[in-house]
Amino acid sequence: MVSILALVGNPQAHSRTRLIAEDLARSLADQLGGHVEDTIDLADVADELFRFPSARVDHLLARAADADLVIVASPTYKASYTGLLKAFLDRYPANGLADVVAIPLMTVASDAHALAVEHTLRPLLVELGASLPTRGISFPVAEIDTRVAVHAKWVENEHRHLSRAIGRH
């Protein structure tokens, strides 16, 4: 069974970004026959991200690296992902996510930031060795009430790419 994990880099705990990422994880689990792991909400460990060593942060890094599919979610801050997410991902060595299929997801308040997911978050995940077989998701927060339908359409369009990437044809 495919393990699916939402990794949320919003500085606000239990954010809309988390809600959107968790709903996507459930949609993917339904479609792919996967299991949704407990979400990693980086707001919960923000005070530990610059402490070395941190057993708690190291445990979260291992959980994300061990998942089959990780939704890496961030709100858009200054046309990019958050520093909180960057601080967490910077703790991985080169190719630290080499065995992970990743889906970059960014919540946006404006269409002006729609490409931030592809131009900022995708390259970071590629640098860490993750496989990114689909388009990233630029999710307008104004559509939060219709997120289940938005996710269903995205999963329908990208399902075959994800199935191949995780070895399910």
Q: How far is CA 162 from CA 26, 32, 47, 96, 155, in A?
A: 15, 8, 34, 20, 9
Alpha carbon 56 to its chain's center: 19
Question: Which pLDDT tens digit goes with each residue over 93-104?
Answer: 999 999 999 999
Domain boundaries, the chain: 3-162
pTM (two decimals) = 0.95
Query: Given the structure tokens 């990693």, which residue do they identify?
Result: 40
Q: How far is CA 92 from CA 11, 39, 130, 143, in A?
A: 20, 18, 12, 33
Question: Which pLDDT tens digit goes with each residue over 42-64?
Answer: 999 999 999 999 999 999 999 99
Question: Which pLDDT tens digit goes with each residue over 108-161?
Answer: 987 767 778 999 999 999 999 999 999 999 898 888 898 888 888 888 888 888
CATH code given to domain 3-162: 3.40.50.360
pLDDT > 70: what percent of the chain?
98
Q: What is the CA radius of gyration of the chain?
A: 15
